Structure 1
Amino acid sequence: MRCPSRCPTFMLSLCPVLFMLTGQYHSNLCRSLLSIFSQLTEVMTRRGMNPTVGDQAIRLDLVAKSRGIAAAEKYFMDLPETSKTHLTYGALLNCYCKELMTEKAGSLMEKMKELNFAFTAMSYNSLMTLYTKVNQPEMVPSIIQDMKADDVLPDVYTYNVWMRSLAARQDILGVERVIEEMTRDGRVAPDWTTYSNLASIYVDAGLPEKAEAALKELEKRNTGNDLEAYQFLITLYGRTQNLVEVHRVWRSLKRNNPRKANMSYLNMIQVLANLKDLPAAEACFKEWEARYIRPPKTKATDAVTTETSKLEEEASTEASNNDSDVKETEDKVTEELDLKRPKYDIRVANALMKAYVTEGMLDKAIALKKRAKMRGGRLNAKTWEIFMEHYLKVGDLKNAHWCADRAIKKGHSSGRIWVPPHDVTETLMGYFEKKKDVDGAESFVEVLKKVQKDLGTVVFEPLVRTYAAAGKKFPGMRHRLKIENVELSEETDKLVDSICVD
């Protein structure tokens, strides 16, 4: 996160944390932390710490994230006129763009132009990104023309967004003209993200040779051995079906980044699985597990790993032979291991489980699920979704329902809500209807209500039919449907009368 102006040390230290929290996830925990940070800035103000305009711009962004756009607008309106500069206007514009509020963003941009506040590329970039996200890429060229007319110099991000907007309109020649203009500019050097975008555009357009040429340029510009750049290289070479280059880049990544992140292994396993190189995917997983995952817990009398033998030897010379000493030694060893090894990232195991299921190796997928759990992995909604999709494919709706039930509950308990796709809900409700299983249907409905507010006809139409097929009565069904605001088809509505009879 780049602060728009000078920040006090306190706020500067928060910026990386806030970026990590808000870059990808929007859980209740993140929102709570953002709210706390916002409150802390209020305390700073009350204590007379005189925030700069840059601080106020950051706080406006925090308010939007933690309390919503309306609160951010109020904060902006309450600012003194001296604080309403290009920084705070730009922060509000960025908030509108993130929330995809096209009308408000457009109006505010016009206001900024009137005030001569739109003199940097940042505001134009935010607006172009907005139009790209709302599937209006045709708006981007006119914004570029406005920039040029207003003598606002584009930056590398400008060129990248411009390229993506042209690619969305299948204008590959236009994309190549942007690269040429960027080269002629001389002021802005294309970075590795530029060529990552270009390679992805060529892959989507079915031009693998041009894509690989762009990837070679990407590698030349990855002088800092950026881990993310390597991951893009692996993914994009995978999309060109070039397995040899995938393995070459992976070796380069391991050589230049010895402390690889879980995401590197996750990405590599997914790419190898897509290229049908399952043995290599298995080898990659085993390497990750050996490097980063502690072995399963064993009894105190079992042999320990080589890594912990020295610790136990030192501890045993000072400890007595009673049970409490054994327990203390074991706890110390476990604590040392926990400090050295991160927690089991179930996403990596999920990638290999998905590969097994895709290739019809259900037994291997089940064995890996058990192994992951034994080694400390916490199965998540995605784990169960993988197995659910398999059972749906083979027509085993009983097990598909079990997996869907587990996925919903796991997602709900972790705060990362998982809702089954519309067609899955429809299939499972149809299963209960066919089985005339009212209790099963009602149980599934109760689970769905934990994660989905409006269940609609996809749930209640088959539920009514299930009651009718089973010959069960529910006198309060019509009242229930009214509360749920569900309008049934004429045919199903007639069934309601039959099941509401006392």
Structure 2
Amino acid sequence: MSKWMTDRRYLPPTKGDIRDRLHLIYKVYGLDKAEEFYNNISHVFKGFIVDICLLNIYSLEKLEDKAEALMQNLRETGRIMTPLAFNILLNLYYSVGNWEKMDALTKEMEKNGLYPDKYSFTPWLNAYAAKGNIEGLNQIMKIMESDPRVGMDAYTYLIAANAFMKVGLVEKSLELLKKVEKIAITSKDKYKTLNTVLSTYAKLGKAGEVDRIWKILKKDKIYNSGYKNMISSLLKIDDVEGAEKIFKEWETKGLSFDFHVPDDLIEVYVKNGELGKAEAILNSGIEKGGTPGFRTWYRLMIGYIEGDQVLKGVEALKNAALSYRLSSNEEAVKDKLLIILECLEGKHNVEEIEGIVKSLVADGIFSSTVCKKLSDFITNKTS
């Protein structure tokens, strides 16, 4: 749509349009195409908001050198008037574990009279949590809560709650979650925020709090994402029976059948050797118009092969390899499954396929049991 709008030129593009196009090109085609587009932008359309978009791309790609070069250009041209560019670099330095550069950047902000906002402090919360620095966490929180310029909100408190949880300070984390709840109740993002609070309580093992937040959410309409989150949260605290009740409740609501909702339950059934229950959800979901995604077929494939139902496992493998709905971390797995599928169709030799299967074991994708059973099946099929 963005390309069509640009090519047709019915309306002259703004710098905001160019920024959005750059972001979309990066999301769809990757870094190289995004840089190519940026380099071909007329100087008329280049500006702070476009450069900031590119800076954020470099941060996401963890490209320190390119990000720092662009940041230096922003400094030299006097275009840094807010903490935004600094915040992007702080997140980059946090993601690569470069604490010294984080410290230097914060000092530069202070020197330039740019007071840190909540987005400046959150990378520090995460950094101190990663280092296990409880003193640093407490110090940052004291500064953030005492200065109204920071603008504490539910998002910031959630990050803080997770940071304290990581260093084992459960009571402090619970205290911060209560603040999140208070803000969320009157917020336009109430549904999303309370769902995040619910899953955080589950991580802390607080079953009672999970149930309490669910009751608050149920006062309004709950969508597929809410049911998925509740099922996942109950399974985090090993409440399979509770998750089953929520799944059955969801089925009665007449919402569209989305396999993302029961996927976690299917995975637990497979791990527990209850393939019959997993299959029942699969078949019922398909009858109701649902389309199983990669994860559904992948988990069933593992369960079938481990349970000596290799033919069913191979069929699930085919469906997984042919799935079109993938998350980024599933794409590499799918590529290898496609090669296995091609081998089963006689397009590769046995030695090659054994190497692929073994690489899946090395990557932690297949267990040695699955590897052996699948290799034996392939050998027998192709001999």
What TM-score bracket applies, with the shorter chain setting the length? Answer: 0.7 to 0.9
Work out which of the two has the higher radius of gyration on C-alpha atoms and give 1 or 2. Answer: 1
Alignment of 1:232-381 (within 5 A): 232-255=196-219, 258-293=220-255, 342=256, 344-381=257-294
Aligned to 1:409: 319
**Identity score, percent:** 26
Aligned to 1:231: 195
Q: 1:240 to 1:62 in 2, by over 3 A?
A: closer
Amino acid of the structure 2 residue aligned with 1:410: A
Distance in 1 between the 2:203 and 2:172 partners? Answer: 13
Distance in 2 between the 1:65 and 1:276 partners? Answer: 36
Task: Say whether residues 1:190 and 2:155 are aligned partners.
Answer: no
Tell me which of 287, 295, 312 is aligned to 1:382.
295
Amino acid of the structure 2 residue aligned with 1:123: A
Aligned to 1:38: 3
Aligned to 1:108: 70
SS at match of 1:107: helix
Alignment of 1:58-97 (within 5 A): 58-97=20-59
Q: 1:138 to 1:404 in 2, by over 3 A?
A: farther
Amino acid of the structure 1 residue aligned with 2:88: S
The answer for unaligned runs of 5 or more in structure 2 is 361-370
Q: 1:353 to 1:69 in 2, by over 3 A?
A: closer
1:294-333, CA deviations, whole angstroms, 9 ceiling, x for partnerless residues? xxxxxxxxxxxxxxxxxxxxxxxxxxxxxxxxxxxxxxxx
State how many pairs are aligned.
358
1:356-387, CA deviations, whole angstroms, 9 ceiling, x for partnerless residues? 33444333223222222222222222123223
Q: Indicate conservation of the 8 Å contact 1:234/1:250, yes or no.
A: yes
Amino acid of the structure 2 residue aligned with 1:209: E
1:108-127, CA deviations, whole angstroms, 9 ceiling, x for partnerless residues? 11111111112222212222
Q: Indicate conservation of the 8 Å contact 1:382/1:407, yes or no.
A: no
Tell me which of 311, 330, 344 is aligned to 1:443.
344
Q: 1:252 to 1:400 in 2, by over 3 A?
A: farther
Amino acid of the structure 1 residue aligned with 2:79: F
1:73-107, CA deviations, whole angstroms, 9 ceiling, x for partnerless residues? 34444444454332222122122223332211111
SS at match of 2:309: helix
Amino acid of the structure 1 residue aligned with 2:198: I
Distance in 1 between the 2:253 and 2:237 partners? Answer: 24
Q: 1:232 to 1:63 in 2, by over 3 A?
A: closer
CA RMSD of aligned residues (A): 3.5
- Compute the displacement of 1:248 (Å): 0.3
- Compute the displacement of 1:262 (Å): 0.8
Quick check: 59-68 or 108-117, which moved more?
Answer: 59-68
Distance in 2 between the 1:62 and 1:69 partners? Answer: 11
SS at match of 2:151: coil
Q: 1:375 to 1:60 in 2, by over 3 A?
A: closer
Distance in 2 between the 1:94 and 1:147 partners? Answer: 18
Q: Indicate conservation of the 8 Å contact 2:293/2:323, yes or no.
A: no
Tell me which of 95, 99, 113 is aligned to 2:61.
99
Amino acid of the structure 1 residue aligned with 2:55: L
